């Protein structure tokens, strides 16, 4: 599948007259818990010819290519990417640390990664992950019976909040890395390990009884982070000068 994805990315480069600087897998495959029928979510960062950036009215700064039911590809222009980096956008930060890379200019990735790591805005990141966890909890885990595979869409952001809170670091992308935290009980870890095993095996996992130890963890962590996040210091993590310098180095095709 990797060769197919690279071929599709090359077709997009030609059709759109862009240069793809970085392309990775995101979503469940990058997180390490895909089902047998999980699709491929490919995300990329691109740049256009220099004259495009000098127009008064530019076209959209996002490209979307749903190739098939199995393959979804989309990307952000470099200028959009840097504006989102300024806001400490978690999706972008996860792209930069994805364990599955399809295309990359090594120097571009290295320098953008270094730029992203200048200062961690813990408050912004925790707010994002906490909002995601709360939304998924309300949407999927109410009632006496739930689709238990939806637990992952609540557990992952909550474990990310815990990681940031404890280590003051960007949380790792693979789900199992997030489980390497000393404050997690053995009972909880065993329940999650069983859930991971079932999901990877491709079991349908329709409506079932809730898992008490996981539900208790979710409620406790939502309550804790809702109360604690407001006391964190908020700041602007990246200077305009650094972002502009990076943009001027990398924008435009080699034309």
Please tell me the predicted confidence (pLDDT) of residue 205.
Answer: 66
Q: Which residue has the higher pLDDT, 205 or 129?
A: 129
For residues 92 and 20, the answer to whether their CB atoms sit within 8 Å is: no
Does residue 66 surpass a pLDDT of 90? no
Q: pLDDT band at residue 54, thresholds of 50, 70 and 90?
A: confident
Query: pLDDT per residue over 190-210, tens digit each?
Result: 999 998 888 877 766 677 888
Alpha helices in 44-151 (DSSP H): 78-86, 90-96, 106-116, 122-140
Predicted confidence band at 166 (pLDDT cuts at 50, 70, 90)? very high
Rounded CA gap, 191 and 218, in Å?
13
Give the per-residue pLDDT at 15.
Answer: 94
Q: Which residues 6+ apart lie within 8 Å of 119 measured at CB?
A: 235, 237, 238
pLDDT for 22 beyond 70: yes
In whole angstroms, give the CA distance from residue 96 to residue 94.
Answer: 5
DSSP 126-155: HHHHHHHHHHHHHHHS-SSEEEGGGGHHHH
How buried is residue 151: exposed, middle or buried, by Cβ count under 10 Å (0-12/13-18/19+)? buried
Whether the Cβ atoms of residue 8 and residue 32 lie closer than 8 Å to each other: no
């Amino acid at each position: 599948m990797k060769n197919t994805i690279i071929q599709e990315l090359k077709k997009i480069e030609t059709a759109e007259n862009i240069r793809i600087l970085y392309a990775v897998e995101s979503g469940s495959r990058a997180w390490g818990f895909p089902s047998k029928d999980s699709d491929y979510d490919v995300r990329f960062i691109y740049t256009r010819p220099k004259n495009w950036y000098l127009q008064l009215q530019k076209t959209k700064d996002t490209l979307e290519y749903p190739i098939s039911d199995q393959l979804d590809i989309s990307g952000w222009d470099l200028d959009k990417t840097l504006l989102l980096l300024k806001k400490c956008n978690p999706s972008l930060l996860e792209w930069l640390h994805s364990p599955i890379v399809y295309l990359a200019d090594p120097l571009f990735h290295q320098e953008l990664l270094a730029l992203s790591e200048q200062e961690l805005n813990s408050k912004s990141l925790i707010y994002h992950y906490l909002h995601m966890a709360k939304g998924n909890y309300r949407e999927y885990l109410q009632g006496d019976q739930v689709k238990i595979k939806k637990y992952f869409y609540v557990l992952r952001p909550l474990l990310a909040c815990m990681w940031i809170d404890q280590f003051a670091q960007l949380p790792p992308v693979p789900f199992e890395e997030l489980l390497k935290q000393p404050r997690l009980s053995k009972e909880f870890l065993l329940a999650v390990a069983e859930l991971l095993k079932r999901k990877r095996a491709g079991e349908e996992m329709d409506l079932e009884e809730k898992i008490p130890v996981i539900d208790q963890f979710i409620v406790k962590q939502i309550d804790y982070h809702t109360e604690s996040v407001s006391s964190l210091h908020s700041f602007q993590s990246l200077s305009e000068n650094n972002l502009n310098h990076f943009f001027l180095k990398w924008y435009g095709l080699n034309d």
